[in-house]
Every structure is written in C-alpha cells, then in structure tokens.
Chain A
Amino acid sequence: MTEIYFDNSATTRVCPEAARKAMEMMTQNYGNPSSMHALGFRAEQELRAAREAVSSFLGAQPEEIYFTSGGTESNNIAIEGAAEARKKRGKRIVTTAIEHHSVLKTAKHLEQKGFEIVYLKPDKRGKIDPKQVRSAITPDTILVSMMRVNNEVGSILPVEAAADAIEEKKAPALLHIDAVQAFGKLPLHAHRLRADLISVSGHKIHAPKGIGALYVRKGVHIVPLTYGGGQEKDMRPGTESMPLIAALGTAVNALPDLNKEMAAMKELNMFLRKGLSEIEGVAINSPDDALPYILNFSAGGVRAETMLHFLSEHGIYVSSGSACSKGHESHVLKAMGLPRERVASALRLSFCRYNTIDEAKIFLSVFREGMKAIVRRPL
C-alpha cells in the first residue's frame, strides 16, 4: 500500500540530511558545548552554525535566536515573559480567537493573573480584519500576539497592521508573531515584519520533534520562565540538545528555494481545490488567498473522524481539525461561525515538498470512494 502523507502541519518526516546530522551528534560529536575541551568546542561550533542558519532565515542576528523545545515553549516564553516584563506599563494584551492553544492557554493563565486579554474574531473564512486589529490596539496595550499563518485553515494574518497600530498609537506593546506554520514557507524577515518576538518550530520543516526557537529582538527584555546554568543566555537554560539543534540548522539549510516550492504548492492546492469542489457536498473552508500548504474543507455530512479512518485504512493520512486537539471540535472553525455539521465534517490537508500531483489524484479517488461507502449520520 502506498503511503500518502497529507498531514504536514501536524508534523513532517525528518529529512535525511537532518536525520544524519542528529545521528552524528549523538554518536560522534557528542560533546557538551559548554565543555572546555576540543570535543566541547566542536559541539559549540555546531551550535553556532545552527543558530546562524535560523537567524539568517529570519533576517536576524545569531544572538537574537534562542533554542527552545518547540513552538509551544517559544510561545509560552514570549507571551508570559513579555507580560511579566511589561506589567507595570499596562495590562492589555491583544490576540486572536484562532491562535494555537499554546497561545490561548497562556493568555487564559495571564487573564487569571489580572491581565486584560482581547480576542479578535475571524470572519467566515478565517481571516482577521486589519481594521479590527488597528482599533483593538490602544496606547496602553503591552503585547500583541498573532500567528502569521493559521494552522487549521491556512489564513494569513495581518501582522503588518498590528505593527502599524503599535507605532501610530505609541503603545508600549511588543509584537509577538507565532510563525510556526509560516517558518520555511513564507519569507519571514524579522525587521521588515517589525516583530519583537517570533516563535518557530523544527518538526514542521523536516527537523525532529522537540526543537524550536524564539527570536527576541536585540534590546527587548523579557523575563525567562526557567532558571538554570546560563545556557541560551539564561533565557532557556539547560544543556543544549545538540542532536536536535544541529538537525534543525541542517533542516533549515536544506529548505528549497521558497518561490519555487510555493509555485509547486499552489499547483497542488489548486488541483485539489478543483477536484474537491467537483464532488457533491464538499465545501472548502480555507480562504482563497490562504497559504497553499494548507487546505481545509468539509466532507458534507460525513463525520470527519470516520473519513479520516477510512482514508487511513487506505494509507492516506490527513487531519481532522488540528492534531493537537484530537477528539475535540475545532475552536478555529467554531470562531469562524461555521455551522455545526460543517465543523464536524472538516478535514485538513497539509502539504510539503515531498507531495506530488499523483498523490493528489489517488487521494481524490479514494476520497470519492469514501463519500460513497460511508453511511452518513446526522451530525
């Protein structure tokens, strides 16, 4: 049975270069970068190279990059650390209702600590209106946290409007961008985005799970959440996970040309959109101008979980809602105001450079088969 993996926003296959690098770091170059001897120095060189790879992708300085355990930890440090550092200047934090749970639950925690959180609502296509962003940001706002690309529908959020509003209103606000889904896919120039904090994750770009990074603009002070032996300039102490860090650096360097890949993804996405919209009952949930790596749609009347298992039996792996919240209805689609049965039958396809049009063809034919075979129940 062929394996077709259309769940790359959940996680990706580690690319061979990164896997080899991790192996090398575990078995040969296994030193602690803090050690004074030659083995330690060699590890430190790798640490430096990985930091440079990530920073140059973000148009940043190496010293602005801090390695973390992944997107969730980056988001936690960024949001709680910023709120803690700026709490004397205000209590207002602006975010959106369609953020990842690592943002929403951190925000909720801050709400209990007395911060005022504003959740911006998306429209029916999962887009956030820039005007709404501008008016939500007030002169006493201390933090704006927005994702660059939504993980469930692929909508691109207007972080530029947030940066504009912070400047116009002279708000003491830091701008945090959760770029986990955009990293390695869209150009992410920290200075052009006018971001103070950017979260990225390794396992969405063919690096292993358990590694991510946080960009903190030089001159910005945030409070760390953990304490230890000084690694990562005490922002995120603990012996550096060199196999994962070096693999992340390698995976970043192995990224193909963004424009070329984007063109391929657009083609794949358009092909599937067209194929799916020819099937009766299917409704596309992603906006037209979404990041082409993500395609969310509802399989009219068929429970998402059932279709997911049906496809899975045929070696095709997709996601219902988002993989982080298995079994729960998607908060993003709900915030978009989609009717219940459309939420209950929503599937997400997400692509990577290893996917092909041929796979899309097989997917469409198996999916059609599923629409016929699966008995529908009122959702």
Chain B
Amino acid sequence: MKEILLVKLGEVVLKGLNRRTFEDVLLKNIRRRICSLGSFDINERQSTVYITPKDGADLGDAEKRISKIFGIATYSRACETEKNISAICSAAYEYLYKELSAVKTFKVECKRSDKKFPLKSPQICTEVGSFLQKKFPSLKVDVHNPEYTVRVEVRDFAAYVHGNSKRGAGGIPVGTGGKAAVLISGGIDSPVAAWMMARRGVELTAIHFASPPYTSERAEQKAADLLRRVGEYAGHMTMFTVPFAKVQEEILSKCPENLFTVIMRRFMMRAAEKIAQREGCGALITGESLGQVASQTLPAIVCTDDAAGMPVFRPLIGMDKVDIISIARRIDTYDLSILPYEDCCTVFTPRHPRTHPVLKFVCQAEETLDVDGLIENCVSGAKITKIEPNR
C-alpha cells in the first residue's frame, strides 16, 4: 500500500491570474519546511499538492509540519491505488480497516475529476459501499449522519482513498503578502499578532526592545523562543534587539511621568520604522488591543500612531483578551509568554499613566529630548539574531 499526503489548497485557488505565483510560493514553503525530515516527492496537480515519502521518510512528521503551513485548507493521509474499481474497493478495505471496525455507520463519497473513468461517482460510491458492507456485516450505511466517511478520489494519474480530512492552518502562503516588522515584547499579545499577519501571507521581521540592566538576558531569550514558535508557521526570520534603556532613562528624567508610556511607545515606533525601512518592510505590526492598558486607549493610540511613518497593523485591536489567549494556546506561545521576566514595557511603568493623552502636549513634552540622536543610537546598536523555526 502506498501512502501519501494529499494537501488541498485554500484561498489560493481564488487568486485568478495571480494564482500561479501563490502556488509557487506555497510549494516553496512546503519544500523548505519538510526537506529536513527526509526525502519527499512534492508536486502539484489539480489544486492539490501530492507529498510522497521516499526512502522511508516518515509521513507522520511531515503531516505535523504541513498542519502549520499557511495557504492550506485541508490535508489528509491517503492511500494511492490503481484506477480500477476492484483495486479501489480492496484499498478502502485494507487502508481504513481500523477506522471502519470502530464505527457502526458510514457512507462513501466520491469525486471523479477524470471523466474518462468508466464509472460515474454515484456508481463508484455504490460499488465501494456494498463491498465494504459485505466485509463488515455490522456496518450500516447512513448518508445523512455517518460516523465515518470514506472518500474516494479518481484523478488523472491514480485513485486515492482516505477518511475525514483535517483542517489546515488556512490563510495564504507566507511571502505572498509582503514583509512587515513586528514589535515583540514577550507578552501574550505580540506573538499572536505576528501569527495573524503571517497567516495573511506577511513575511516577518521582528523587533525586540531590551533595557539592560533593567531587563535581563532571559527576557530577550524569551522573545526569541516565542518567535521560534511563531516561526513554525511563519518560517525563519530576523530579530533585531534594540538597546532601549538610554531612551527610557532620558524620557523619565525630562518628561512628565504620566506621559512616560505614550512617549516611550512613540520612540519604539520611530526606531522600529527605521529598521523596518532598511529591511524592506512595508508596515509595522503590534499586539495592541483597544482599551487593554493605558497606552492602548484610543487617544493613546492616536499619539503612538502619529510617530509612525508607515502603516501599523494591529490585528488584535478589536479582540478580547480571552480570544487572544485562546489563539496563544492554539499556537503554543501562551506558556512561554507567562514566564515572569520583566520586559522593557513594564520596568518603568508610571503609577498613574495618562489614559487620554493629547498629541499636542505629548509633542511639547518631547521637545526637550534629542529624538534623532536617541533613535540613531537605538538603530545603530541593534543586535541581529537569526530565528530558525522550532524543529
């Protein structure tokens, strides 16, 4: 029995004349993610990617990786068989023996994209269904509410038998949506924001602000670990660690305390924008969620946004914390995020930050600072770390 992985493309198929570009990127991403697992034949026909293991490569490992690649709607392990009805019947029996032994009702669904195949889809269903019923006398057909569905696909080069498909990661392939820089702190939100944008095809660059000695090397390690988890979906990326203590000390000594956070965030935007531009990014990504903390109220975001010279994507802006947490759990970043290391956002938090800062006054408060000099320091002092996804 020859087992392969059938991967069905998602939104990509709607891309009209650009479709080929999207498919090529997706194939490249798939190759890149599974090449380290062994040798696989990967090719695409009829909106489906066929992944065939060679030389004993493990399909189970490949399946896990595939479940985290954006641009895939569903995937399933399937048995490849010759295109004649008796081969299809016995393949269904052998390949799905365990699953069919465990249920009481089933049905057979068929797709026949090769119209030259002598039997039509309903006929194939009937043939396979009655064959299986003979083999499993206690099994009943239930076309409305079956416990298990046997799927038969008759395609151009072979026929395939499989059970229920699994849902893929959805979205569109990473690399088709341009490049953006995500501001990653180490909290729960920013990795989720990064993941959501990667799902829309955005290739990521990461920017982390570190304030030694107020923050520790462990906080930076934590950010890198989080990105590695996100990287299982978003692929490899570069992390820039920006030295930020000087900026924070300056703001603290020269500006009103209650404006500290909003001014700090404006500096983050400026430094991030400089790096993002240099790296060829078209936008910034943050994990802000409206009203979550004082710096994320609408007036505060107005002030922060003013300092950014490029679009800022805030995919979490309208989401509740519980929803954000449930995504964080799904992508397995939550447990890392809650490790108790101080990050640059929390070390200097004022007791009573302004929740309704006014842009005019914020700008006035900044006049005492050497903005360009401080930003230049941040950008030139940034440390580069290559982030390879977790294996």
Contact = CB atoms under 8 A, between A and B. Distances in A.
Given A328-B340, A375-B253, A309 B215 contact: yes
B342 interface: yes
A374 interface: yes
Nearest to A328: B340
B214 A306 contact: yes
Contacts of B342: 305
Contact of A374 (B213, B216, B351): B213
Most chain A CB atoms below 10 A, which of B213, B215, B341, B347:
B213
B342 to A, nearest CB: 6
Given A375-B249, A375-B252, A378-B351, A305 B216 contact: yes
Interface residues of B, number: 15
Most chain A CB atoms below 10 A, which of B214, B248, B347, B351:
B214
Interface of B is mostly: loop
B253 A309 contact: no
B257 to A, nearest CB: 10
A366 to B, nearest CB: 12
B131 interface: no
18 contacts: A303-B214, A305-B216, A306-B213, A307-B213, A309-B212, A309-B215, A310-B213, A312-B213, A313-B213, A327-B341, A328-B340, A374-B214, A375-B248, A375-B249, A375-B252, A375-B253, A375-B348, A378-B351
Given A375-B249, A377-B348, A309 B214 contact: yes
Contacts of B213: 306-310, 312-313, 374
A312 B212 CA distance: 10
Contacts of A378: 351
Contacts of A303: 214
A369 to B, nearest CB: 12
A373 B304 CA distance: 29
Contacts of A374: 213-214
- Sorted from nearest, which 4 A-B pairs have the closest CB atoms? A309-B213, A310-B213, A327-B340, A306-B214
Interface string B325-342: 000000000000000111
Interface string B47-81: 00000000000000000000000000000000000
B221 to A, nearest CB: 13
A79 to B, nearest CB: 28
Contacts of A313: 212-213
B129 to A, nearest CB: 55
Given A306-B213, A309-B215, A313-B213, A377 B341 contact: no
Interface string B163-204: 000000000000000000000000000000000000000000
Contacts of B214: 303, 305-306, 309, 374
Given A328-B340, A375-B252, A375-B253, A309 B348 contact: no
Interface in A360-379: 374-375, 377-378
Interface residues of A, number: 15
A374 B252 CA distance: 12
A176 B175 CA distance: 63
Contacts of A309: 212-216
Interface string B341-385: 110000110010000000000000000000000000000000000
B187 to A, nearest CB: 15
Contacts of A306: 213-214, 347
Interface of B: 212-216, 248-249, 252-253, 340-342, 347-348, 351
Most chain B CB atoms below 10 A, which of A303, A308, A309, A377:
A309
A102 B389 CA distance: 36
A377 B249 CA distance: 11
A150 to B, nearest CB: 24
A49 to B, nearest CB: 40
Interface in A298-321: 303, 305-310, 312-313
Nearest to B340: A327
Contacts of B212: 309, 313
A303 B348 CA distance: 11
A307 B212 CA distance: 10
A374 B211 CA distance: 12
Nearest to B253: A375
A313 B347 CA distance: 18
A245 B216 CA distance: 35
B374 to A, nearest CB: 15
Contacts of B340: 327-328
A344 to B, nearest CB: 12
A375 B252 CA distance: 9
B216 A377 contact: no
Nearest to A307: B213
A305 B351 CA distance: 19
Nearest to B214: A306
Most chain B CB atoms below 10 A, which of A303, A327, A374, A375:
A375
A308 B249 CA distance: 18
Given A305-B342, A327-B340, A377 B215 contact: no
Most chain A CB atoms below 10 A, which of B215, B216, B248, B253:
B216
Nearest to A310: B213
Interface string A277-312: 000000000000000000000000001011111101
A313 B253 CA distance: 23
Contacts of A327: 340-341
Contacts of B351: 378
A77 B155 CA distance: 66
A312 B347 CA distance: 18
Contacts of B341: 327
Nearest to A378: B351
B383 to A, nearest CB: 15
A307 B216 CA distance: 11
Interface in A230-256: none
B207 to A, nearest CB: 21
Given A309-B214, A309-B216, A375-B252, 20 more contacts: A303-B214, A305-B214, A305-B216, A305-B342, A306-B213, A306-B214, A308-B213, A309-B212, A309-B213, A309-B215, A313-B212, A313-B213, A327-B340, A327-B341, A328-B340, A374-B213, A374-B214, A375-B249, A377-B347, A378-B351
A1 to B, nearest CB: 15
A310 B248 CA distance: 16
Contacts of A312: 213
A363 to B, nearest CB: 16
A313 B215 CA distance: 12
A308 B213 CA distance: 8
A378 B214 CA distance: 14
Contacts of B216: 305, 309
A355 to B, nearest CB: 23
A364 B216 CA distance: 22
Most chain A CB atoms below 10 A, which of B212, B248, B348:
B212
Nearest to B252: A375
